[in-house]
A and B are shown apart, each in its own frame.
Chain A
Amino acid sequence: MTMPAQTNWTVETRTRTSTIFLGLAAVLVVVLALAPFYASRSLIQDLFFILTMLVLAQGWNLLAGYAGLVSVGQQAFVGIGAYAMFGGVILLDLDPLVSIALGGIAAALLAIPTAFFTFRLQGAYFAIGTWVVAEIVRLTVAQWKALGGGTGTSLPRSATREMFGLEFLKDTFGFKTSAATDVITFWLALVLAVVTVGVVYRLLRSRQGLGLAAVRDNQNAARSVGVDAQRIKTIVYLSTAFITGLAGALIYVQKARISPDAAFSVLDWTAYVIFIVVIGGIGTIEGPIIGVLVFFALQNSLSGYGSWYLLVLGLLGIVIMLFAPRGLWGLFTDRTGIELFPIRRRLSGDPNEKSGG
């Protein structure tokens, strides 16, 4: 007996490739987590760099690629996060690891007045506004004599040497103090990167994520169906600031030396990050991952050529923006249809498929 063909449409965001990929990703994370036990110290430092840049890139991508907030002032949050961490260690005598949380909180707090100001500016003016704010914060922090003013300062050795977990690592696995610091910061960077990617992925698949896409496509239409654009944008801006602040603090626990010019560098914390996202593919989660790997490879192979390196990076960014605006990952997806972090909703179900009858 046959039932009338009944269509069982379901809305799906997952694909078979992405499910397989999630499994592989889990294995990759475990392999990475164990890296300190088989990899050299310099590789651990490289991985730390890649992971922290990935966190910054995911943050900027969320802002610019999904929320349409093209910020060129993310260095404000890296810098304030790093300085808050230094403040916590030097002025409040906190453990550096506890102080990293302080960095995230400080960045999120800074983001509140910043959003109040910059959200009044539209489009490109928003970009300039964020940059001016970052300059104001840099110049103000340079007046903070207790943290070294314009020349900066270092983390006290005692603080890093007594850092939480250090003794345990040294005793259990026989790491040297300096290596153990790298291992702890590396693990934190790994956790931060995985959590960031996970949070961004979940956000984009959630109702808010759908709202975000609606806002990006058409702000007025989104408002008319009850999506509060301003609220979603504010949430995205504040959470990105928090993550960026945590990354900034973590980066400077590892660097252990800070100055306003370095911590608020538009080149290091915004320009590089923008190139990573653009080269990899803006508006995708995979893009920044590809981008950071390409960026690292370029930096390693061209760093001996001084300014030629940045020249090539700039040209590459321009060419990709002009001819492949969806980046390397976009090119790849167009050819293969593969998405590792699918966030588009697709209808699945086949009218000819038997539905239980």
Chain B
Amino acid sequence: MIWIDTIVQGVLLGGLYALFAAGLSLVFGIMRLVNLAHGDLIVMAAYLILVLVTLLGIDPFLAALIAAPFLFGVGWLLQMHVLNRTLGPDILPPLLVTFGLSIVIQNALLEGFSADSKRLSVGQLETASLALGPVNVGVMPLLTFISAIVVIVALNRLFYSTSLGRAFRATSDDAVTASLMGVRPQNIFATATGIAMVVVTIAALYLGTRANFDPTIGPARLIYAFEAVIIGGLGSLWGTLAGGIIIGVAQTLGAAINPEWQILAGHVAFVVVLLLRPRGLFPRAVD
């Protein structure tokens, strides 16, 4: 019985990791950009939500709603004016620039908010739980998981049944030919990063409500997110969810055996999956 409970908790945790990873997966899928500052952007978004909650005295959910369009703009500008310059056949510039960005964001947050850990409060929801068959699940973890699925369904719809989604895929295939169709690749990339930042806002909402956060926790979240993306296979959003669940379940199982093994078990699962399937579980036909 306890095992079922552990696995269910792990699956729900996987939803959180999939949320961390969805924006990363989107951006990587479209422009092959690996954003090492993704975790720090999530933490930054969590602080923005916190500021809105504190200043306006509103609910974190509402605050996230207000933060999302603003962060879309931040993502758009960041891509347009900084990251677009790094795209090309050489992988060093994007890696190093986003790595620098990660350090900058962490230390700007430290300067602005100190190293004290913070939390977003959602009142009674934090402790509420409901019985799902034999196991009790927390309302917040469940909400996180449902949000992850909603985000992935929405992104997939955007990707496969809208004009913008066609432009995303066409630009990803061949930016020069896409521009012959009237698509401006630079704008497409900026829009993609803007959308990724909206997903980042949702991830930040759950990051901040479910546990304490401080300016330095970004990189650790980034690793989980990357593991989910890589295990899932390039550019597959459902694969990213599967990857998140694998990491989540491995972590809760590891923790059930020895609390010190939680994180280690997730990393080991990542290595094992990649040794068996070097291209991840659901690789796209075209890379």
Whether the complex brings A and B within 8 Å at their CB atoms is answered yes
Binding site for B on A (CB under 8 A): 64, 70, 72, 117, 120-121, 123-125, 127-129, 131-133, 135-136, 139-140, 142-143, 150, 266-267, 271, 274-275, 278, 282, 306-308, 310-311, 313-315, 317-318, 321-322, 325
Contact of B223 (CB < 8 Å), options: A128, A275, A318: A128
Q: Which of B96-137 contact A (CB under 8 A)?
A: 96-97, 99-104, 106-108, 110-111
Q: Which of B34, B86, B91, B111 is in CB contact (< 8 Å) with A311? A: B111
Residue of B nearest to A275 (CB): B100
Whether, in the assembled complex, B1 has its beta carbon less than 8 Å from a beta carbon of chain A, the answer is no
Q: Are A311 and B82 in contact, CB atoms less than 8 angstroms apart?
A: no
Nearest-CB residue, chain A, relative to B215: A307
Question: Quick check: B85 and A322 within 8 Å, CB to CB?
Answer: yes
Complex Cα distance, B82 from A315, in Å, reads 12
* Interface residue B213 (Cβ < 8 Å from any Cβ of A): no
Is A315's CB under 8 angstroms from B271's CB? no
Q: Which 6 A-B pairs have the closest CB atoms?
A: A314-B103, A124-B34, A314-B104, A307-B107, A317-B100, A318-B100
Which residues of B have CB within 8 Å of A136? 264, 267-268, 271
Interface secondary structure of A, over-half rule: helix
Q: Which residue of B lies closest to A133 (CB)?
A: B271
Contact B108 A311 (CB under 8 A): yes
- Contact partner, A310, options B107, B267, B278, Cβ 8 Å: B107
- Choose among A120, A321, A325 the residue with the greatest number of B CB atoms under 10 Å from its CB: A321
A321 x B86 contact (CB < 8 A): yes
CB closest residue in chain B, given A126:
B91
Q: Is the CB–CB distance between A271 and B99 below 8 Å?
A: yes
Verify if B219 is at the interface (C-beta below 8 Å from A).
yes
Cβ-based interface call for B148 (8 A): no
Nearest Cβ on chain A to B169's Cβ, whole angstroms: 20
Interface residues of B (CB under 8 A from A): 34, 36, 82, 85-86, 91-97, 99-104, 106-108, 110-111, 219, 223, 226-227, 230, 260, 263-264, 267-268, 270-271, 274-275, 278
Residues in B with CB closer than 8 Å to A70 are: 91-92, 95
**Chain B residue nearest in CB terms to A318:** B100
Cross-chain contact B267 with A72 (CB below 8 angstroms): no
Closest Cβ of chain B to A201, distance in Å, is: 22
CB-contact partner of B227 in A127, A132, A139, A322, under 8 A: A132
Once the chains bind, are A125 and B230 in contact (CB under 8 Å)? yes
User: Does A127 lie within 8 Å of B97, measured CB to CB?
Assistant: no
Q: Determine the distance from Cα of A314 to Cα of B270 in the docked complex, in whole angstroms.
A: 29
Please give, as numbers and ranges, the residues of chain A lying within 8 Å of B97 by CB-CB distance.
317-318, 321-322
Chain A residues near B92 (CB-CB < 8 A): 64, 70, 282
A132 CA / B273 CA spacing, docked (Å): 13
CB-based contact B223/A131 at 8 Å: yes
Residues of B within 8 A of A308 (CB): 107, 111
A314→B107 contact, CB < 8 A: yes
**A117: chain B residues within 8 A (beta carbon):** 271, 274-275
From B85, B99, B101, contact of A274 by CB (8 A): B99
Checking B96, B111, B230, B274 against A321 with a beta-carbon cut-off of 8 angstroms, the contacting residue is B96
List 11 additional A-B contacts (Cβ < 8 Å) besides A70-B95, A310-B107, A314-B100.
A72-B95, A120-B278, A121-B230, A123-B91, A124-B34, A127-B34, A139-B260, A267-B103, A278-B96, A318-B100, A318-B101
